[in-house]
Chains A and B, each alone.
Chain A
Amino acid sequence: MKKIFYPMLVLFLLVPLGLLSENPAWAEWDNEYYQEVLGYIPEGIKNAFTTQALMPDYTFAGLNDIASYYLSALLGIVLIFGFFYLVGKKIAR
Chain B
Amino acid sequence: MHIPDGYLSPLTCVVTYAAALPLWVIAFRKLKEQLDETTLPLIASLSALSFIIMMFNIPIPGGTSGHAVGAGLIAILFGPWVASLCISLVLFVQALVFADGGVTTFGANALLMAFASSFVTYYIFIGLKNKALAPYISGWAGTVASSVVLSIFLGIQPLIATLDGQPLYFPFDFSLTFPAVVGSHALFFGVVEGIFTGIAYAYIIKNKIFTRASL
Which A residues have a C-beta under 8 Å from some C-beta of B?
A: 1, 3-5, 7-8, 11-12, 14-15, 17-28, 34, 38, 40, 42-51, 53-58, 69, 72-73, 75-77, 79-81, 83-85, 88-89, 91-93
Contact = CB atoms under 8 A, between A and B. Distances in A.
B100 interface: yes
Contacts of A19: 57
Most buried by B among A8, A21, A58: A21
B109 to A, nearest CB: 11
A55 B67 CA distance: 20
Interface in B47-102: 47-49, 51-53, 55-60, 63-67, 89-90, 93-94, 96-100, 102
B7 interface: yes
Nearest to A76: B51
Contacts of A3: 203, 207, 209
A17 B96 CA distance: 23
Contact of A53 (B48, B56, B99, B209): B99
B113 to A, nearest CB: 12
Contacts of A48: 4-7, 102
B171 to A, nearest CB: 5
B13 to A, nearest CB: 9
Contacts of B55: 15, 18, 58, 69, 72-73
Nearest to A17: B56
A75 B97 contact: yes
B141 interface: no
B175 interface: no
For the complex of A and B, the 6 pairs showing the least CB-CB separation, nearest first, are A48-B6, A84-B44, A53-B99, A21-B59, A92-B35, A44-B169
Contact of A44 (B64, B90, B94, B161): B161
Nearest to A81: B44
Given A23-B63, A55-B98, A42 B51 contact: no
A27 B212 CA distance: 37
Nearest to B154: A27
Contacts of A69: 55
B154 A76 contact: no
